[in-house]
Amino acid sequence: MKSDSKNLLDQSVQYLKSVGPKRAESFAKVGIKNIHDLIYYFPSRHLDRSTLLTAAKASDYLMNGYEGELTVIGKVFEKEKKRFGKKEILKVQFRDSTGFFECVWFRGTKYFYSVFNEGNTFAISSKPDKSKFGALKFIHPDFDRLSEEEEKSFLHTGKIIPFYRIPKELKSGNIGDLSLRRIINLAVENYVDLVEETLPEEIIKENNLIGLPEAIRNYHFPESSEKLNSAQSRFKFEELFYLELLVALRKQNYQTKLTGNKMSIKTNLVQNFLKTLPFELTKAQLKVLSEIKSDLLSEKPMNRLLQGDVGSGKTIVSLIAMLIAIDNGFQAAIMAPTEILADQHAKNISVMMKKLYLKYPDKEIKVSLLLGGQKKSEREKRLQDIELQEADITVGTHALFEEKVNYKNLGLVVIDEQHRFGVRQRARLQSKGKTPEVLVMSATPIPRTISMTVYGDLDISVIDEMPKNRIPIKTVLRGESRLPEIFKFIIDKSKDGYQTFIVYPLVEDSDKLELKAAETFYEELRKTHLKNLNVGLIHGRMSWQEKEEKMLLFLKKQFDVLISTTVIEVGIDIPDANIILINDAHRFGLSQLHQLRGRVGRSNKQAYCILVTKDEIVQYNIQQRLELDYLSSSMLDKYKSAIRLQTMVKTNNGFEIAETDLKLRGPGDIFSTKQSGFPDLKYADIIYDTELLNLTKKIAFNLINKDPSLDSENNSVIRNNLIKHYSENLKYAKIA
Ligand code: ADP
Ligand code: MG
């Protein structure tokens, strides 16, 4: 019986009444191949009684200054195309029992002309506009055609009508609002009861969810708005539940299938190292260190994310972890995102290890650097050091984990600035040692909701405190017109030994343009405002060796000012660089601005971050805004820019900045599923559905705790559904 029903749902849509092979082809183009797909093609919205108005009422609303979206139902009364030079405008007049309104199209007029036929009824949804004479008008509104019966049943019985997105592939296949609703209705009526439940009975009951067939039916053709809500909630629940199940499985897999190296504190190595530091570790560093230590000393392999703002002292913490591994006879590796950073890590670590050896000459710790661009002979030597364990600590980029690199005894891997590495890379490098302990470090604060999922399989440690000697960076926002004053400030400060980064954004996605822009500014400033200072230039077209050379000159104070494109974004430590001037600051994202600001303020002097932008953005008053939805796109850009920049001025706290960033950008950018190996979210919103996310996480983790390989009878539903619909995502979380 079961296999029969599955077969029926797997049938091509072409066997549905009024579909046929031609329309089936169009459906296939948008990914709807079988009946199951069609049943899961949910409406993008429903005809909503709460915002439905008559033409007369809508005019009243308009007169009273209403700016929200509303819906009116009307019959096409007449239409006309008007030509203005090359441009053509389409005007369609509609009427309902109370009056008239007009819809206007400036683009696609030919197509829209063919859509609106006299006597046909449409639901029009949009923000209203006024015509020259103050009459009700809509410009490029959303519209859906209604059949006469639909209109009647909607008006008289309050029946909720679904509106579907109709991509051009369907339109050109002669599938419109009415026909699509009819076809989907047919499919739902006849086949929905064959759809197999995807959640266990118990979970459905305990969480007051509605069953799958009922949810599907009500998502399409709701009996009531309450039912529609229940249907949508059920899909959100299911989606987040399976997401968290995958997270739980991944974590489970890591902890039970793999055994780590049970380390211990063997000698005084770590103690001695701490004595060579010119500072005390902060409380936060000590706390995360004890978390890391307990991972290392236990049997289960460490798989930990270490978060901390730029400059909070993550590198020292990771170095101590590496020393524990070395104390136990292992090698350690640290991977940086760029060659210049790897190089800098290698130098810093070498210096510290030399100092340690001079003071406590019982064990010399050898540091080796492995990069892509090295000479062959040099590279061979490094590879050999790694194979023979001549190198205790290897620093590098991705090159560290290429196939040719054979570690003799790799015990710990540290990944710096991990947001650039995906789960695939993590999996690959973990295949390098027996099961090396893994510590991932990120300076990009990740909001909790995101880290719970994308990094939910990692344990998380947070350094939430800066070293005491730091004075908070002063951040100011200035209009371009004040640049001359700013340059004067830079010159004044240089007399006190301050150095300055001047950053320009990338002009476009083109290296050539970037180079040109940076060079132009460089030449100009050297001749004008900054002619009495030593000015250097660094940009993305330079090789890492060239960049490094420039950074070294800057470090040695050969330059007072370093002009750069965003290449200084990550991790470079110049203690006397205490001013950063960011031009066209509105072009940068929030987390990028925060990273850039982190380049300064690494000493005990007052540091400054000067954000320069268009004067109008500086003057923009956020309080005066309307609802976000009603801003035109250029207003919205300006509004968002203003918020970003004012957030920077207001706070130095990376987590606060990340939360704002998430709200402004939406989850898409940050919640990059391609990298994480988790499925895309269709129903739930990771920003707004946090409560549900917490709930499903709890349920999923409990369930996997009790039944790790999902072989209890109760969980067979889950098991089958995972295999059927999430096989792609199971790669990193195999169930037995
Ligand atoms: P992160 O990697 O988190 O950006 P780093 O580890 O590079 O930060 O540390 C930034 C600077 O602060 C380094 O020069 C480091 O030596 C110094 N530092 C680290 N911990 C402390 C501390 N507890 N007190 C004072 N300075 C510290
Ligand atoms: Mg760092």
Pocket test for ligand 1, best of 309, 316, 465 (most atoms within 8 A of CB): 316
Mean pLDDT in residue range 478-485: 94
The mean of the pLDDT values for the chain is 86
Q: Output the residue whose Cα is nearest ligand 1's atom 26.
A: 467
CATH superfamily of the domain spanning 269-297+313-442: P-loop containing nucleotide triphosphate hydrolases (3.40.50.300)
Q: According to the model, what pLDDT value does residue 541 have?
A: 78
Q: Which atom of ligand 1 is nearest to the CA of 602?
A: 11
pLDDT band at 568 (very low <50, low <70, confident <90, very high): low
Q: What is the DSSP string of 321-374?
A: HHHHHHHTT-EEEEE-SSHHHHHHHHHHHHHHHHHHHHH-TT-PPPEEEE-TT-
Helices (H) and strands (E) in the chain, counts: 29, 23
Ligand in nearest proximity to the CA of 416: 2
The encoded tokens of residue 273 equal: 């190292």
Reply yes or no on whether the pLDDT at 635 is more than 60: yes
Residue 126's H or E segment, with its range, is: strand 121-126
Reply yes or no on whether the pLDDT at 597 is more than 70: yes
- The CATH number fitting domain 474-651, selected from 1.10.8.60, 3.10.20.740, 3.30.360.10, 3.40.50.300: 3.40.50.300
Ligand in nearest proximity to the CA of 348: 1
Ligand 2 geometric centre to CA of 588 (Å): 21
CA distances from 461 to 219, 430, 690 (A): 41, 20, 21
Per cent of the chain over pLDDT 90 is 47
Q: According to the model, what pLDDT value does residue 172 have?
A: 87
User: In this structure, are strands 87-96 and 70-84 parallel, antiparallel, or unpaired?
Assistant: antiparallel
Ligand in nearest proximity to the CA of 598: 1
Ligand 1 geometric centre to CA of 602 (Å): 8
Ligand 1 geometric centre to CA of 374 (Å): 29
Q: According to the model, what pLDDT value does residue 259 have?
A: 67
Per cent of the chain over pLDDT 70 is 89
Class of CATH domain 1-48+160-189 = mainly alpha
Q: Tens digits of per-residue pLDDT, 398-443? A: 888 777 888 888 999 999 865 555 556 666 666 655 678 889 898 7
Q: According to the model, what pLDDT value does residue 727 have?
A: 79
Q: According to the model, what pLDDT value does residue 423 have?
A: 58
Q: Which residues lie with the beta carbon below 6 Å from any ligand 1 atom? A: 279, 281-282, 285, 308, 310-316, 443, 467, 469, 573, 602
Q: Tens digits of per-residue pLDDT, 111-137? A: 899 999 999 999 998 888 887 777 899
Reply yes or no on whether the pLDDT at 642 is more than 80: yes
Helical residues (DSSP H) of 207-282, grouped into ranges:
212-220, 225-257, 269-276
Ligand 1 geometric centre to CA of 47 (Å): 58
CB neighbours of 457 closer than 8 A, spacing ≥ 6? 247, 250, 251, 254, 303, 733
3-state class (DSSP) for residue 697: helix
Domains 269-297+313-442 and 474-651 share a fold: yes
Q: According to the model, what pLDDT value does residue 630 have?
A: 45
pTM assigned to the model: 0.69
Class of CATH domain 51-152 = mainly beta
Q: Which atom of ligand 1 is nearest to the CA of 317?
A: 6
Pocket test for ligand 1, best of 274, 276, 277, 279 (most atoms within 8 A of CB): 279
pLDDT band at 627 (very low <50, low <70, confident <90, very high): very low
Phi, psi of 214 (to 5 degrees): -65, -40
Q: Tens digits of per-residue pLDDT, 157-213? A: 778 899 999 898 998 888 988 899 999 999 999 999 999 999 999 999 999 999 999
Selected residue with higher pLDDT from 527 and 299: 527
Reply yes or no on whether the pLDDT at 394 is more than 80: yes
Q: According to the model, what pLDDT value does residue 546 have?
A: 84
Ligand 2 geometric centre to CA of 598 (Å): 10
Q: According to the model, what pLDDT value does residue 734 have?
A: 52
How far does the chain reach from its first CA to its final CA, in angstroms? 28
Domain boundaries, the chain: 1-48+160-189, 51-152, 269-297+313-442, 474-651
Selection from 136-145, 483-492, 634-643 with the highest mean pLDDT:
483-492
Mean pLDDT in residue range 346-361: 95
pLDDT band at 653 (very low <50, low <70, confident <90, very high): confident
